[in-house]
């Protein structure tokens, strides 16, 4: 038989023979436990997620022909399978199913293991399998390559070997599936790279904002505040004269070495702003898939990205959602995004401010009224906001301002899914998803008797916290161009450019009014501008007067920035110490010591 084999299969048989595999049947199958299989899938969750969209497409071309489509990892373990039940049942006899290891070392020559060994697409038909019990199989497999060309998985198509029905086209189909997976992995790698670049932009922007570095018109670093500091692991003297975009290439930030006070340069007495906008990652653009209002805050990286990831996850259920955040942070935008990601996206989105109406009108506005309910009421009655949101989402903004007397009525809607119109004897069923938002501490209101505890728990099934703009200052790089275009469009002006120095001013301000204040600022600048370029002189005086100026006492400032750098690295690594230590370029024990020294505690996740 071996003399009739192709070179690929012949090499595989030789390897199988060297592994001392029983050529009649495998007696020591390597099968993962359910928990171990689950763990392997979780370790490669994005690969598995991608496969769950690719495998059905491949299977749809084979449905009813007694085949299966398999995803295997680079160790040969089958992670996922999809196929016709008769073949799936028959293949279980030889453990061609999730959890089983089909490497050559365990199963001898087979498409999965041989594709991994040869790092090439492979077809193994019938008796070409080294082990006799697998001779009923016909299999086609192609390796899947990840970043850097390393093989990370195998996509396999398996069926029964029928005499005279060897079909080489199925290898092309397996290759198609592997290429689709590779494209998905490449996109994911690019997105991860963009995340790191965004983190670098955030660090660079903060360094500029607090005067740690100074740039010239071309984005060249001209000065580092303290010669004793290391920037990105490099001595201060090394980075002066270098483009900031080349220095800040990852999130790894400043490592603050203690320098002799005699070598430390005196800090400037006031902030030095860069003369141009901070660098942005190459290719850092946004697709136009969202509404204009959403583009104002929908940013894919950092804290903003996490908020929208949470909203997208919450969209899959009908549970109540409570959105927390300061005034002006974009809570309604998050609510709209959640609605548009949900199965209710084709239904209405009804927003209502609980502080906009007096208590006497709130109940009729929310729940409606019947015919003749009160003097001056509309004939035939009127539906309230809940009924008008039927099949969709109602957004209750400023829920913390709802009068205590009206809260039991809302509680009943949450519990019973029905509303009582004022003046009607019977309730009306409603099918509405409730999303509420507040800038107040509801727990404090509960403690003071101003908010019902049972309503609080009904609303906060899922909690999403929107960070203030000062905690995601790099978002300004995305927000400002959009807000300028928006303001120009509203005022009928041609698009305006941004002069050198404007971004430095905007990044140095703390924005207590958040995105709303930034939008008002940009609108003012556009309205008052007389030329085709917005200049630092167009920035409102109150913004310039409130610019952040750091305290320049050396030791407190160093400690403050060191603590901030450690927190950022921990945040980037989901508060896992070992990865954070690698980002910072220090040992794990050193990081543990610094965490204890600075009293750093992981924030509670809502």
Q: Is residue 96 part of a domain?
A: yes
| The pair of three-digit structure tokens given for residue 362, joined into one six-digit string | 């709130």
- How many Å apart are CA 253 and CA 568, to the nearest integer? 9
Whether residue 137 is found in the same domain as residue 241:
no
Asked whether the beta carbons of 166 and 138 are under 8 A apart, the reply is yes
Q: What is the pLDDT of residue 8?
A: 92
Whether residue 325 is found in the same domain as residue 220:
no
Indicate the pLDDT class of residue 207, thresholds 50, 70 and 90. low
Q: What percent of the chain has pLDDT over 70?
A: 76
Q: Any alpha helices (H) in 92-166, and if so which ranges?
A: 104-107, 111-118
CATH number at residue 133: 3.30.450.40
Give pLDDT tens digits for 68-93: 999 999 999 999 999 999 999 999 99
Give pLDDT tens digits for 330-368: 899 889 989 988 889 889 999 999 888 887 788 888 888
Indicate the pLDDT class of residue 107, thresholds 50, 70 and 90. very high
**pLDDT exceeds cutoff 90 at 447:** yes
Q: What is the pLDDT of residue 271?
A: 28
Q: Which of 433, 465, 497 is the last residue of a domain?
A: 465
Whether residue 179 is found in the same domain as residue 197:
no
Q: What is the pLDDT of residue 319?
A: 92
Q: What is the pLDDT of residue 365?
A: 85
- How many Å apart are CA 161 and CA 220, to the nearest integer? 66
Q: Is 53 exposed, middle or buried (0-12, 13-18, 19+ CB in 10 A)?
A: exposed
Q: Is residue 62 part of a domain?
A: yes
Whether residue 38 is found in the same domain as residue 141:
yes
CATH number at residue 456: 3.40.50.300
Whether residue 420 is found in the same domain as residue 408:
yes
Q: Which of 465, 484, 513 is the last residue of a domain?
A: 465
Which residue, 112, 121, 118, is CA-closest to 172? Answer: 121
**Burial track 143-178 (b if 16+ CB lie within 10 A, e otherwise):** bbbbeeeebbbbbbbbbbbeeeeebeebbebbbbbb
- How many Å apart are CA 362 and CA 376, to the nearest integer? 16
- Write down the mean pLDDT value for the chain: 79
**pLDDT exceeds cutoff 80 at 375:** no
Q: What is the pLDDT of residue 199?
A: 56
Angle at 232 (CA atoms; ends 228, 234), nearest 5 degrees: 55
SS3 content of the chain, % helix, strand, coil (to 5): 45, 15, 40
Q: What is the pLDDT of residue 578?
A: 85
Angle at 351 (CA atoms; ends 350, 354), nearest 5 degrees: 135
Indicate the pLDDT class of residue 299, thresholds 50, 70 and 90. very low
Phi, then psi, of 33 in degrees rounded to 5 = -70, 165
Whether residue 454 is found in the same domain as residue 343:
yes
Residue-range definition of the domain harbouring residue 382: 315-465
**pLDDT exceeds cutoff 50 at 155:** yes
Mean pLDDT of 226-242: 66
The domain total for the chain is 3
Indicate the pLDDT class of residue 295, thresholds 50, 70 and 90. very low
The full length of the chain comes to 606
Whether residue 142 is found in the same domain as residue 224:
no
Indicate the pLDDT class of residue 282, thresholds 50, 70 and 90. very low
**517 vs 217: which has the higher pLDDT:** 517
* 422 Cα distance to chain centroid: 44
Whether residue 379 is found in the same domain as residue 235:
no
Q: Which of 255, 272, 295 is the last residue of a domain?
A: 255
Q: Is residue 562 part of a domain?
A: no
**pLDDT exceeds cutoff 70 at 242:** yes
**440 vs 266: which has the higher pLDDT:** 440
Q: Is 93 exposed, middle or buried (0-12, 13-18, 19+ CB in 10 A)?
A: exposed
**pLDDT exceeds cutoff 50 at 269:** no
Mean pLDDT of 575-597: 81
Whether residue 209 is found in the same domain as residue 68:
no
Q: Is residue 56 part of a domain?
A: yes
Phi, then psi, of 308 in degrees rounded to 5 = -75, -25
Indicate the pLDDT class of residue 277, thresholds 50, 70 and 90. very low
Q: Is residue 486 part of a domain?
A: no
Q: What is the pLDDT of residue 298?
A: 40
Q: Is residue 45 part of a domain?
A: yes
Q: What is the pLDDT of residue 464?
A: 94
Indicate the pLDDT class of residue 209, thresholds 50, 70 and 90. low
Q: Is residue 503 part of a domain?
A: no
Whether residue 419 is found in the same domain as residue 446:
yes
Mean pLDDT of 593-599: 80
**551 vs 377: which has the higher pLDDT:** 377
Q: What is the pLDDT of residue 254?
A: 36
Q: Is residue 289 part of a domain?
A: no
Give pLDDT tens digits for 478-502: 788 888 988 998 999 988 888 766 8
Mean pLDDT of 265-283: 31
Whether residue 29 is found in the same domain as residue 88:
yes
* 311 Cα distance to chain centroid: 10
Q: What is the pLDDT of residue 541?
A: 87
Mean pLDDT of 406-413: 90
Whether residue 150 is found in the same domain as residue 203:
no
Mean pLDDT of 234-252: 65
> What DSSP element (H or E) covers 253?
none
Q: What is the pLDDT of residue 215?
A: 65
**pLDDT exceeds cutoff 70 at 253:** no
Distances in whole angstroms, Cα of residue 95 to Cα of each of 52, 100, 233, 479, 602: 21, 6, 51, 54, 45
C-alpha dihedral (275, 280, 283, 284), degrees to nearest 10: -130
**Residue corresponding to tokens 């959640």:** 338
């Amino acid at each position: 038989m071996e003399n009739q084999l192709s070179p690929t299969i012949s090499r595989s048989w030789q390897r199988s023979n060297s592994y001392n595999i029983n050529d009649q049947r495998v007696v020591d199958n390597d099968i993962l436990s359910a928990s171990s299989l689950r763990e392997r899938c979780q370790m490669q969750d994005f690969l598995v997620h991608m496969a769950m969209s690719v495998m059905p497409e491949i299977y749809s071309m084979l449905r009813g022909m007694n085949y299966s489509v398999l995803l295997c990892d680079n160790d040969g373990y089958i992670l996922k399978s999809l196929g016709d039940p008769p073949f799936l049942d028959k293949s279980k006899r030889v453990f061609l199913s999730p959890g089983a290891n089909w490497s050559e070392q365990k199963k001898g020559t087979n498409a999965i293991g041989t594709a991994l060994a040869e790092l090439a697409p492979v077809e193994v038909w019938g008796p070409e399998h080294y082990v006799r019990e697998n001779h009923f199989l016909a299999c086609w497999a192609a390796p899947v390559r990840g970043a850097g060309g390393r093989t990370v998985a195998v996509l396999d198509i398996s069926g029964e070997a029928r005499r005279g029905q060897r079909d080489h086209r199925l290898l092309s189909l397996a290759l198609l599936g592997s290429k689709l997976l590779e494209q998905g992995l490449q996109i994911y790698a690019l997105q991860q790279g963009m995340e790191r670049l965004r983190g670098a932009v955030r660090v660079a922007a903060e360094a500029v904002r607090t005067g740690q570095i100074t740039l010239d018109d071309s984005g060249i670093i001209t000065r580092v505040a303290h010669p004793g500091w290391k920037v990105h692991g490099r001595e201060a003297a090394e980075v002066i004269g270098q483009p900031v975009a080349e220095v800040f290439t990852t999130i790894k930030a400043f490592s603050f070495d203690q320098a002799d006070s005699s070598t430390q340069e005196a800090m400037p007495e006031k902030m030095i702003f860069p003369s141009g906008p901070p660098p942005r990652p190459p290719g850092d653009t946004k697709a136009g898939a969202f509404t204009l209002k959403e583009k104002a805050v929908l940013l894919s990286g950092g804290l903003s990205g996490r908020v929208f990831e949470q909203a997208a996850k919450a969209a899959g259920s009908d549970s109540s959602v409570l959105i927390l955040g300061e005034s002006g942070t974009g809570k309604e935008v998050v609510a709209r995004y959640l609605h548009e990601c949900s199965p209710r996206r084709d239904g209405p989105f009804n927003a209502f401010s609980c502080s906009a109406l007096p208590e006497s009108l709130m109940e009729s506005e929310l729940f409606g009224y019947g015919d003749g309910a009160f003097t001056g009421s509309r004939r035939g009655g009127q539906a309230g906001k809940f009924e008008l949101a039927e099949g969709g989402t109602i957004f209750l903004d400023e829920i913390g301002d709802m009068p205590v007397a009206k809260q039991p009525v809302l509680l009943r809607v949450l519990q019973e899914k029905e509303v009582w119109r004022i003046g009607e004897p019977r309730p009306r069923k409603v099918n509405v998803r409730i999303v509420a938002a507040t800038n107040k501490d509801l727990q404090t209101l509960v403690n003071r008797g101003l908010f019902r505890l049972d309503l609080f728990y009904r609303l906060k099934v899922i909690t999403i916290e929107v960070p203030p703009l000062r905690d995601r200052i790099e978002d300004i790089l995305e927000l400002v161009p959009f807000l300028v275009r928006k303001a120009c469009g509203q005022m009928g002006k041609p698009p305006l450019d941004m002069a050198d120095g404007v971004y430095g001013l905007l990044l140095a301000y703390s924005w207590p009014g958040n995105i709303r204040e930034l939008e008002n600022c940009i609108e003012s600048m556009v309205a008052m501008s007389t030329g085709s370029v917005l200049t630092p002189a167009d920035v409102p005086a109150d913004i310039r007067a409130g610019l952040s100026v750091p305290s320049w006492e050396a030791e407190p400032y160093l400690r403050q920035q060191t603590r901030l750098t450690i927190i950022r690295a921990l945040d980037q690594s989901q508060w896992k110490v070992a990865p954070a230590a690698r980002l910072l370029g220090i040992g794990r024990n050193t990081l543990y010591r610094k965490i204890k020294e600075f009293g750093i505690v992981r924030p509670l996740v809502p």
